[in-house]
Structure 1
Amino acid sequence: MTKTPLTVRGAEKLREELRHLKSEVRPRVIAAIAEARAHGDLKENAEYAAAREQQSFTEGRIGEIEGKLGNSQVIDVTTLENTGKVIFGATVTVADTTSEEESRYQLVGEDEADSKAGLISYNSPIARALIGKEEGDVVEVRAPGGPRELEIVKVEYI
């Protein structure tokens, strides 16, 4: 089984969510179930049904996060020597060869992706086109809006 790459920040966010779910949400849900049980008939108890549903969701998310963390490889690009190549975790500044508009992206794991924040999944069309290339290279990206040519202006390992 192959490991899923995660940045240090992405792994930390998952660990924090896991801590929150286990130490805060889970005890609150257990207390809500106990309180709802105290009200009697469980068949027609909406509070009990809602608390059980919340428990199911919480336990499912805990299992999902534990699985992701257990099957991940945390990559800290700040410890790597900057060779100028685009790799997982690198921050890349690119310029559209047509409009000359510059964009800055960090290549991250799928769970960390947030295009509005400049965090793109390493599986996205742009990231796949950039990986392995160097500063000065021009790549063609097959984006949903049609093909685009991007020039790699700068590669940073931050």
Structure 2
Amino acid sequence: MYLSPEGLKKLKEELEKRKHSRAEIAQKIQEAKALGDLSENAEYQEALAIQSFNEGRVMELEEILRQAEVISEEMNHRHEAVEISAQVKVESKFGNQQFTIVGSSEADPVKGFISNESPLGRAFIGRKKGQEIEVDTPKGKVKYKIVEIL
């Protein structure tokens, strides 16, 4: 799994925040226990659900960070072909668009961050300026022409 230095920092910060919230969550569980009958105690059930989600996310973040390959500064140079960390300007029937190719944990298609593992990301990887590709999308087949690679 690939991460930019910024993505790595963001995930580490989230992990620390979640680890520090453990004490607060444990306190909420204790307070909810004090309210009485646990089988009908909505506050207790909610606190347990929050704890479960938090612990699951801690484990997920630790695994991502363990497997992460950080994109080096050398990879951030001007790209000859599309690769991870490249910004790609394209033309399609939807007009001009710009995407940044990132690892899956940093993907945010709404903001233009496309995972290298997505169909669109896989189609762009290795392509060069001027090349055209056709990708199956939820909106049907779309042709993209690579205008610029940054």
TM-score class, shorter-chain normalisation, is: 0.7 to 0.9
Q: Per-residue deviation at 1:100?
A: 7.9
Residue 14 of structure 1 pairs with residue 8 of structure 2 = no
Q: Per-residue deviation at 1:139?
A: 1.7
- The aligned amino acid for 2:25 is V
Over the residues paired in the alignment, what is the CA RMSD in angstroms? 1.9
What is the total number of aligned residue pairs between the two structures? 149
**Separation in structure 2 between the aligned mates of residue 141 and residue 44 of structure 1, nearest angstrom:** 52
Residue 70 of structure 2 aligns to a residue whose secondary structure is: strand
Alpha carbons 1:139, 1:150 under 8 Å: kept: yes
From 133, 140, 147, the counterpart of 2:134: 140
Q: Per-residue deviation at 1:27?
A: 1.7
TM superposition score normalised by structure 1:
0.83
Residues 152 and 39 of structure 1, relative CA distance in 2, 3 Å threshold: same
From 124, 129, 134, the counterpart of 1:130: 124
Q: Deviations over 1:81-107 (max 9, x none)?
A: 4342100111100112xx482110001
**Separation in structure 1 between the aligned mates of residue 129 and residue 57 of structure 2, nearest angstrom:** 40
Residue 114 of structure 1 pairs with residue 108 of structure 2 = yes
Residue 111 of structure 1 aligns to a residue whose secondary structure is: helix
**Separation in structure 2 between the aligned mates of residue 55 and residue 67 of structure 1, nearest angstrom:** 18
**Separation in structure 2 between the aligned mates of residue 49 and residue 146 of structure 1, nearest angstrom:** 44
TM superposition score normalised by structure 2:
0.87
**Structure 2: gaps spanning 5 or more residues:** none
User: Paired residue for 2:48?
Assistant: 52
Alpha carbons 2:130, 2:146 under 8 Å: kept: yes
**Separation in structure 2 between the aligned mates of residue 54 and residue 100 of structure 1, nearest angstrom:** 41
- The aligned amino acid for 2:80 is G
Residues 49 and 141 of structure 1, relative CA distance in 2, 3 Å threshold: closer
**Separation in structure 1 between the aligned mates of residue 134 and residue 47 of structure 2, nearest angstrom:** 51
**Separation in structure 2 between the aligned mates of residue 46 and residue 142 of structure 1, nearest angstrom:** 46
Q: Deviations over 1:20-63 (max 9, x none)?
A: 1111x212111111222333443443322221221111111111
Alpha carbons 1:10, 1:109 under 8 Å: kept: no
**Separation in structure 2 between the aligned mates of residue 57 and residue 110 of structure 1, nearest angstrom:** 21
Residue 92 of structure 1 aligns to a residue whose secondary structure is: strand
Residues 71 and 20 of structure 1, relative CA distance in 2, 3 Å threshold: same
Residue 122 of structure 2 aligns to a residue whose secondary structure is: helix
- The aligned amino acid for 2:12 is R
